Amino acid sequence: MLRYTLKRALSLSISLAIASLVIFLVIEVAPGDPASYMLGINAQPETVAALRTELGLDVSKTQRYLNWIGGMMRGDFGMSYTYRTPVGQMIADRMWVSLPLALYALTLSTLIAFPAGIYAASRRGKPGDMAVMGATQLGVAVPNFWFAMMLVLIFAINLRWFSAGGFPGWDEGVFVSLKSLTLPAIALALPQSAILARVMRSSLLDILGEDFMRSARAKGLSRRQALWRHGLRNALIPVLTIIGLQFSFLLAGGIIIEQVFFLPGLGRLIFQSISARDLIVVESVVMLLVFSVILVNFFVDLAYAAVDPRLRSRT
């Protein structure tokens, strides 16, 4: 297991190095100069040059890349061009919204999808299976921002059970903060739970046709007992893949939901930074999100090996 982990860690490091280079090059070639944008079209060339020097934009792109990477390795993400505050502090403040929201949505998605997928697989071809598949098809087809607007209309405006948007901060209490994240989490979780439920059902049905499942049935286990004792564990590998991808999406892909609910998360920070040409913030946030994606995939690989020890001997 240690050898497997070290190989995965090496792969993670190489992926991060390549990703950092790609992110820097893509963002740096985008049109527009941050200094000119901040000062406006009527700024004098001398003033623009002075600001470029202050922001560290007057050095070569190679040096800027090395400075950026070296700073991140020390925990220094640089200074925001627009807000003139440390980027690390800005990310930390927004992360306290985006990370709990992603975990909340992922928990809801899993709690909905697992029972639905298992129920559908255990009743293949029956009305219960068709009802679950119909609901999941609807969940996949309808975009999450539509769910968000419907949730606001029903639970915030009509019933007044929740606020329509905003985040009070964790200082107001865990219950109050989680309540403000409930509607956004549900809006994010519903489409993801539909995908996860379909994957769970498909994976379980594939496992039910395996020889070891037929042997379990031949030994006297019912279909449901064989499914719970032997099928579920073996069906988890593709499900873990989807869960890992969903967490990364929920952390990085909630831009629209954060806009709908006026949440000060990473999604809104990226949107505002792109609009302001605050390149250092965009680069750092995107790199952090890429790191989270790669790290989650790393832990998913370890979970694979824990679920199916045969995978360790293949690497």
Position 299 scores a pLDDT of: 77
What gap in Å lies between CA 277 and CA 77, rounded to an integer?
Answer: 16
Position 40 scores a pLDDT of: 67
pLDDT in tens, 51-89: 777 777 777 778 888 888 888 888 888 888 777 888 888
Position 279 scores a pLDDT of: 79
Cα 181 to the center of its chain, rounded Å: 16
Position 84 scores a pLDDT of: 80
Position 6 scores a pLDDT of: 76
pTM (predicted TM-score):
0.78
310 contacts 1 by C-beta, under 8 angstroms? no
Q: Report, as ranges of residue numbers, the positions in the chain whose pLDDT lies below 50.
A: none
Residue 31 CB-density burial (10 A; 0-12 exposed, 13-18 middle, 19+ buried) = exposed
72 contacts 286 by C-beta, under 8 angstroms? no
Residue 29 CB-density burial (10 A; 0-12 exposed, 13-18 middle, 19+ buried) = exposed
Length of the chain: 315
Position 111 scores a pLDDT of: 92
